[in-house]
Amino acid sequence: MPEVRVRKKLILLEEIFHEGGPVAAAPQRRGAALAVIHNPFAGRYVEDIAEFMEDLKPFGLSMAQSLIAALGGNPRVVEGYGKGAIVGTAGELEHGALWHVPGGYAMRDLLGGAKAIVPSTKKVGAPGTRLDVPVTHINASYVRSHFDAMEVGINDAPRADEILLALVMTTGPRIHARVGGLKASEIKGEDGLR
């Protein structure tokens, strides 16, 4: 199967101190690791694409590692995560689906076997396309304070024969979380949901 050919990587970090309400003791941090890779299936219909997931696994792991490093190096600060992909216009939406397994399991492994499904989204788009990557708590999808999202994108990517891959991690709840629901302190952590 094809190797992973990387053109560009980008790390984004947001620190949120307040949104018009009380300033939090510690800012919420959101980080994204983006990578622009060549789409080996661009321009034609290829039936058997699933094996490319194997090639992407070590790459996903390195992206997740660099994101944790950007957040200070301690995986235990990470409380929320999400993933996404933007496929260049010579590709297919299904090529973005190749990112589910390598992107998701890389983060779950590095975060100590996180239990919740990694929320995701994907689309086909031109360079500069933005993507709202959904975010939920790493151990219990229903923790309401951690339902979040981070918008990402790169001005010159993805080109037609590229895929932009994204991983997102957050260090805490929304900055003024106050709409109730399951709290992080109430997680049972058995089924990944509650």
Partner 1 sequence: MKAKIRKIAVFLEETLSEMGRTVDPPSRRAAAAAVIENPYAGRYVEDLSELMDIGEELGELLTQKAVAALGIAASTAESYGKAAAVGESGELEHAAAILHPKLGTPVRRVLGKGAALIPSSKKRGPCGVCLDIPLGHKDAAFVRSHFDGMEVRINDAPRANEILVAIAVTDSGRPLPRVGGLTKSQIKGEDGLR
Q: Which residues bind partner 1 (CB under 8 A)?
A: 19-21, 44-45, 47-50, 53, 84, 92-94, 97-98, 100-101, 117, 119-123, 125, 130-134, 136, 141-142, 144, 147-149, 151, 174-181, 191-193
CB of 113 to partner 1, least distance (A): 16
Beta-strand relationship, 28-38 and 162-170: antiparallel
SS3 of the chain: helix, strand, coil, percent, to 5: 25, 30, 45
Least separation, in Å, of the C-beta of 52 and partner 1?
A: 9
Q: How far is the CB of 160 from partner 1 (least distance, A)?
A: 13
Q: Minimum distance from CB of 179 to partner 1 (Å)? A: 5
Q: Considering beta carbons, is residue 21 or 73 the nearer one to partner 1? A: 21
> Toward partner 1, which CB reaches closer, 75 or 83?
83
- 32-42 as b/e, with b when 16 or more CB fall inside 10 Å? bbbbbbbbbbb
Query: Taking the alpha carbons of 159, 122, 65, 41 in that order, is the dihedral positive or negative?
Result: negative
Q: Which is nearer to partner 1, 47 or 76 (CB)?
A: 47
Number of Cβ atoms within 10 Å of the Cβ of 16: 15
Are 118 and 168 spatial neighbours (Cβ–Cβ below 8 Å)? Answer: no
Query: Minimal distance in Å, beta carbon 151 to partner 1?
Result: 6
DSSP letter (8 states) at residue 143: B
Q: Taking a C-beta distance cutoff of 8 angstroms, is the pair 95, 119 a contact? A: no
CB nearer to partner 1: pick between 72 and 190: 190
Paired tokens of 83: 């993933």
Closest to partner 1 by CB, 110 or 152: 152
